[in-house]
Structure 1
């Protein structure tokens, strides 16, 4: 096992690190890697979670979850099991959001990402994520080991690290962000880094965990908007990159940039590094770098200036960093000794096989020599007497067979050597094959378990669907499970709690139009929104041919107002943050938009298209009629497109600025209302 403090190798079962004396294991019935009161464990050691994962030891914990090493009984392999703490989720919808969000990335395969096997809610009510278990030391522990002796990282160490960080973030950012990009989630391995907990923070309602986030020492690496409970974006990851760089270069997690020198041998490099870090860690996300490529390009330009410095300056710089290297000498020496012992143990079985092979060869050589000298040692008559005495005269003599002893010996020896080479080759390939087979086995088992779950739950789902249909038949003016008096919203309106969401569209969105907003996190207050288009009645054709001012007046008559663009788009994208209210993929049959058969459609009664609703329960936000909203800079416009419009025009992010006086048979509206917490 590896010591999490100094990274030294220790034999399995060791109680203390042989180098730094850090406790590794505690004695008792539940042997775990860190000291922790068993009463604080979410899952007890040696228990089984969801009838599948046998918990064998505790690994560690963070603000949101505890991590265990477990045996997956379905595949008979070890996994890292992240079990989330109860306060992270307030209801089943929040649990399901994380489960389905994580499942969406489990098929992603990248050399720098720790593979996710599954996410689910156990029968006991625990939300968990199972991941591939890997050995390595986190960047956080590496940083803290260095900061204990005041040793910063050199430029030569930083460049490959940020190159790999940039590669993986650049791969992710067109579609997803990490959100929790901090050193404890970066695992250092000999040739590359591994990133854990990808996108998990994006699917958690951070407002449930603000106290725990702020109390976590590693929160200094999280962007201010994340600590305040807002949804992370790719610029949150850029903040983390800047904060990590600041710590690596200074050798301290709490250094004051304005009162310290990152590179005292060249003021230009020092000032440029500080400028880079200050820009990346700006409190305003829009003031940070546009993407990780821009951040890395600026960093590598500074490192290029360093590379052009005279060698004597670089030597002095390295000498200043190496001044504390002697404090690590005993660690390195001990690691070399431990590695030597380990190598000897691993080679033990190979040496035994080699000794056996040598013994066989010696016996064969002696035998061949005896056979070669037999005529001199035993005359033919004597040989015949010996054969007769042993009753084997009828047997075939090696010389009488017509094959020379030298040839037979050579063939036997060659066969033995080939067999030995084959064994060695098999051993060398064993690790790679086991990993590949293990991954394939996981995939097969996951598919089988999913099929079993579908079969087991089919009857319950059928009953549930029948109940839903019965409820929908009786439903005319119902708010999503809330009557007036029990919700901040009036009847027939949906309540959406204050929070943030991703507004606008990605540059890679094929349907993106020039006037669409950038894909950034936007905060809204708590508000209520009509479930259907005005007059907010299911089965009634929406009111159209009204101007913006007329629509606003009709809402005011009900004590409401027109929605802002932010409110409208958040209700459309729902908690799943999808391109259309129902999914990320356009479905011509889901909403009253362009038909795939070419048929001409007309404005339909509200709620006719049952699938055309967001996860908040708001209907007809894609197609049917475009809806008036308030836009930024005192502009007015419509959202959602209308009947017979193509896929790009009926996305949640699509928008069109219009004069407030315009009227159209395809323009309607719905109303909103401020809600009290």
Structure 2
């Protein structure tokens, strides 16, 4: 009898805490996403076919496993929070400079004007559509391929950092330092005394999309146990850098390119990319501050691999955003 009561108690626990099955499949959810991509960004059928093939080859890329993901906010709730609704983020000046919607010019406001920018960065995590959930479960290689498919490229680490800190500074990669760890340590030492976040000079809770939580079933990770419990992109208008870039803290962490030699810089036109650099923080940071996330901080060599490796890292809280070189 005691064993029976224990079994029933365990079943009750699982009933309360196990996610309910959802009827929507990943493929169905991605079809909605593909329609948004084509419509919002004006992608051609050929571009969309490339994007579809990358998603289908993976079998995991999307906005999270629909069966277990529990988003803390809906797109409609996001639109109600955003001044002017989601369309309020569409800046005509930036569109003229960058040649696409929802991109921000990268430049140094202390020395330059927006029109001086030589590159732009997505204002939001891919699919770069406000009030839409970010794409996750994507490897660095797949992120680079998707960016190329939509006419962009993966950002170099210094571009992401400049977008966050509010000023694009010259690259600081410390080539020839001897190791990835040494490169990052020297860079962090240089900027550590002047650290800042996109919204200011001190870390604050409640400003960014960082108050969600892990699934009860999520241990170390896993597609069938960890929901991608993200917020819609741009749902925290205060989580914005001086250059107009959103969600670099909270929501999804992001793949970037860390060049180890000058010929691996995507911003210099190279297709020979370096190693992965996972930037920013993710959706539980207000509850669990897992690591530093100030703008120019470079992470230790976590899940390190060449960007174009077939086995580069993917997980439930890791996404990406794209950059674009402009003439």
- Using CA pairs below 8 Å that are at least 6 residues apart, which structure has the higher relative contact order? 2
In our comparison, the structure showing a higher alpha carbon Rg is 1
| Larger proportion of helix | 1
